[in-house]
Chain A
Amino acid sequence: MDYIYSVVILVGLSIILASSFNLSIGYGGLISIAHPVFYAIGAYASALLSRDAGVPVVVSIFVGALVALVASVMVALPSLRVSGDYLMIASIGFQLGVLELIKNVNWTGGAGGLTNIPAFIAPTFGREAYVLLVLIAAALTILIIYRIAHGPIGRAMSAMRDDELAFMALGRNATSLKVGIFALGSGIAGFAGALYAHYFRYLTPEQFDILQSSALLTMVVVGGIRTAWGPVIGAVVLQVLPQAIAFLDLPTSFLGPLQGLLFTGLVLIFMFVRPQGLVSAGAVWRPLRRSGAA
């Protein structure tokens, strides 16, 4: 049963990560693949605050998300003021730098990993309660991002992606919109990281490397970029498939490469066969509802 709980929690967290990544890279058009670093920052910040500073976990989870949000603003603000292209470079540099830092200082547990992270909810209410918590968080993430994407902010993001100069000449502040969207997406990733830390109670820097970036990108692209359900489907498929393959009676020497092939193979196949992903986004932006619309 514990295995099933772990898989469901990983699927739930992937849904949160893929949806929030879709917010910034899909709806926001902000090209950065460093999403896992904010997941890491949220996880480590909440773990360290609760373990070493005695902050209650219910507080540290939110502080973790906030730290990830602030860190993302510090990366995005200087690069987005210049141009969108710089965000890609700056964020990858930031991802590599933070992971190196985690590996090389003592207080993060170094490359060996951070252990003894305080548990949350599960000891008192059982693991089922934690599963429920993660699923509620995932559902809320989908709902919030859906509402943003189809509200005034979504309209603004759509216009900005179409023509940034015309957007600015109409009085809209493109930089603050981009930084805000990036910060929100990263803050949600940080929140997911904190939820991960207090369930699995063990963190290593490798979990958040470029490989994780490509897995997330695959979830969003295969599922369907700029749709509410695409990243959800992508997250479920790409979390469950590798687990399912593990049940096949295959030698481990074959299993490892096969899982790697699955990710890259899927992206390649989709690029040729269905570039819009499993769920395809409409060409025209639609609002949630419009009172008195013709």
Chain B
Amino acid sequence: MSGTLKVRGLNKSFGGIVVADTIDLDLHAGKVLGLIGPNGAGKTSLFNLISGIVRPESGTVELDDKMLNRLAVHKRARLGLSRTWQHVRLFPSLTVLDNLLIAPREYSADRLLSSLLLPARSARSEEGTLERARGVLTLTGLESVTETPAVDLTYGQQKLVGLARALMNEPRCLLLDEPMAGVEGQAYDIIKKVIRTLTDRGVAVCVVEHNVAFIRNLCDEGVFMFAGKVLARGSVEDLIADPRLTELYFGT
């Protein structure tokens, strides 16, 4: 499952607002990189650029030496690029289990014709996915809400399902957008545990997070972003200790 992500010279602006200014970024297998910066620094925009939702004006994104630039969003996901969303974005009309069953790399209904004409093959593929989903639900401590509609979950549970869903496609690289926002107690510990499990398997992880304790605890390295630029990179401790960055983070 190990993966590396290489971003080079990424540029993007919306109107006059620059959200990415010549960004270089490296994610390494088994390492967690923390993206730190105030609101509006371009952290989520960077995730959108990497996952293909927004196209850059220039620059490249490579996953395991494979160029992603020209690939559509769903094709990048199928190569093992997974992400979560700041506002979760679960499918409210599906149960927790079905939210997960939508998300494997190979989905039985991806090939519409063969899933219509060869229902037996489609059923076998569903069986395999179901097995996988049960494993992920155990890992994320969600077994008790398996058949609960996503719309009926607490916010913390929704965050966990968002993470669980992103694990379904066996990610090589995982982008987590504020996984801890609005999360406390048990879910908090589970999310930490899951990220550790992933890095042990060699997944490259990138986290956008405002929770300093979490960043300190989990990230091998940090990158400080401001106004679409990478201003500094280094150990999380060094970044937090830098008075210049603290001033930018909290404003003057």
Contact = CB atoms under 8 A, between A and B. Distances in A.
A167 B149 contact: no
Contacts of A168: 72-74, 77
B155 interface: no
Main secondary structure of the interface of A (DSSP, over half): helix
A162 interface: yes
Contact of A152 (B51, B92, B122): B122
Interface in B117-173: 119, 122, 126-127, 130, 143, 146-147, 149, 151, 165-166, 168-169
A162 B93 contact: yes
B176 to A, nearest CB: 13
B105 A287 contact: no
Contacts of B11: none
Nearest to B79: A171
B108 interface: yes
A293 to B, nearest CB: 7
Interface stretch (B55-63, B96-104, B242-250): B96-104
B94 A169 contact: no
A163 interface: yes
Interface in A56-71: none
A236 interface: no
Nearest to A174: B74
Interface string A165-182: 111111111101100110
Interface in B74-115: 74-75, 77-78, 83, 85, 89-95, 97-99, 101-105, 107-110, 112-113, 115
Nearest to A290: B130
B53 interface: yes
B92 to A, nearest CB: 6
A287 B78 contact: no
A1 to B, nearest CB: 38
B109 A158 contact: no
A10 interface: no
Given A169-B51, A293-B147, A158 B110 contact: no
A210 interface: no
A283 B103 contact: no
Contact of B109 (A151, A174, A287, A292): A151
B91 A158 contact: yes
Contacts of A155: 94, 98, 101-102, 109
A284 B83 contact: no
A212 B100 CA distance: 40
Contact of A156 (B97, B107, B119, B149): B107
Contacts, number: 117
A163 B91 contact: yes
A75 interface: no
A285 B103 contact: no
A159 interface: yes
A179 to B, nearest CB: 9
A141 to B, nearest CB: 14
A87 to B, nearest CB: 17
Nearest to A281: B93
B116 interface: yes
A83 interface: no
A294 interface: yes
B109 A152 contact: yes
Given A152-B109, A161-B93, A177-B112, A169 B149 contact: no
B68 to A, nearest CB: 13
Given A159-B94, A283-B151, 19 more contacts: A152-B108, A156-B102, A159-B98, A163-B89, A163-B91, A167-B91, A168-B74, A169-B77, A170-B77, A170-B165, A170-B169, A172-B74, A173-B74, A176-B112, A283-B93, A285-B93, A285-B94, A294-B143, A294-B146
7 contacts: A152-B109, A152-B122, A159-B98, A171-B78, A172-B102, A285-B93, A291-B130
Name the 9 nearest CB pairs between A and B, nearest first: A171-B77, A180-B112, A152-B109, A166-B89, A162-B91, A170-B103, A153-B109, A159-B91, A168-B73
Interface of A: 147-148, 151-153, 155-156, 158-159, 161-163, 165-174, 176-177, 180-181, 184, 283-285, 287, 290-294
